[in-house]
Amino acid sequence: MKWLLITLACIQLSECLLRVPLWKGKSGLDVLHENGLLEDYLKNHKSDPCAKFNVPSCPQTLDTNEPMVNYLDLSYFGAISIGNPPQSFTVIFDTGSSNLWVPSVYCSETSCTKHRRFNPRESSTYYSYNQGVSIQYGTGAMRGILGYDTVRVSNIVIQKQEFGLSTSEPGGFFGYVKFDGILGMGYQSLAAAGATTVFHNMMSQNLVDEPLFSVYLTRQNGASGSEILFGGVDQSHYTGQIQWVPVTHEAYWQIQVDRVTINGRVVACFEGCPAIIDTGTSLLVGSTSDITNIQQSIGATESYYGQYSINCNNMQSMPDVVFTINGVDFPLPPQAYTLQNNYNNERSCSSGFGGSGGSLWILGDVFIGEYYSIFDRGNNRMGLAKAV
């Protein structure tokens, strides 16, 4: 996961883009806090997202299809358990990081006590060599120790899985999120403290039919049905052919974008650009200059804090934004890249594109919601198909 962004709707105390940031820089929660909006935002979104979708305690499923709660189209998380007997947690399945960690009873900060905390003394199979782990986020951080225990994801039981137990979560950010921890699905080389990733152990312990996983994200302001499938592909979630794209760097799930066009005119990635497919980023993020070109081309206007608003009445006439990847066009229609929010019965629309200071693009949930995404570790490639 890379960062947290904020839209105009956030300024109106509507549905913010809450996500855990990994890039250094100011997050959306920072902006809310600095402008005295954070408490009001939390009051307006204090309901339990698990209860919203009739899973009061987010119990784990007995299928390799791991259901994920869609929280306001902004973050997606599912249930796992750790230890014997199992202790349950909700986690972001994040393709933009590689560590599994959860809060622990060794942490007494509010950001920990607001969530489920792992208690090593209550697990008969836990052990640790007291190796430290530290992950710095754009807002806050996780610090703790590495432990080993049984981890259950869906019906998959992983023995002696390495995971982080937070003893401190500086910055307080994790006290505001709806999930307990993070389960990184990136490559091994990205893992802090050299911890073995969950999916690496799934493969090495022969727990998946194929060395891949696939992700389906619903949009529609929190609709149910989102899932991550370990070891397979669900044909009911896409239409047409799967387009395979090679991974160009094995850390993030990084690929190469040929160009970005609108009405046949190149507006970004003029000479190609690197991009990552990241389930932990809400928006579609690119370099500031390229994103500015896109915003102008779709008719978005700059509003507050560098964000862009869209006239909801213009959506029918707005153009597709086409990403050409490995020679294949992947169009994003206005309905995909426009974030629609309702607050106090007032509809507002904002752009799903965000600018950054770097050259690495992030194809986040805005993109993945439109294209079913297959993360193929066995062949180091991404599969993309039109989601249905």
* Catalytic entry in 30, 73, 94, 365: 94
* Catalytic entry in 73, 278, 290, 365: 278
Q: How far apart are CA 363 and CA 361, in angstroms?
A: 6
**Burial class, 382, CB count within 10 angstroms (exposed 0-12 / middle 13-18 / buried 19+):** buried
Q: What are the residues facing 373 on neighbouring strands? A: 215, 384
Cis peptide before 331 (omega within 30 of 0): no
209 is known as an active-site residue: no
Per DSSP, the three-state class of 55 is coil
Q: What are the residues facing 137 on neighbouring strands? A: none
278 is known as an active-site residue: yes
Q: How far apart are CA 113 and CA 88, in angstroms?
A: 15
296-330 burial: b if 16+ Cβ within 10 Å, else e: ebbbbeebebebbbbeeeebeebbbbbbbbbeeeb
- How many other C-beta atoms are found inside a 10 Å radius of the C-beta of residue 109? 17
84: DSSP letter: T
Q: How far apart are CA 98 and CA 325, in angstroms?
A: 25
5: DSSP letter: B
Q: How far apart are CA 92 and CA 217, in angstroms?
A: 13
β-pair type (381-387, 301-302): unpaired
Catalytic residues: 94, 278
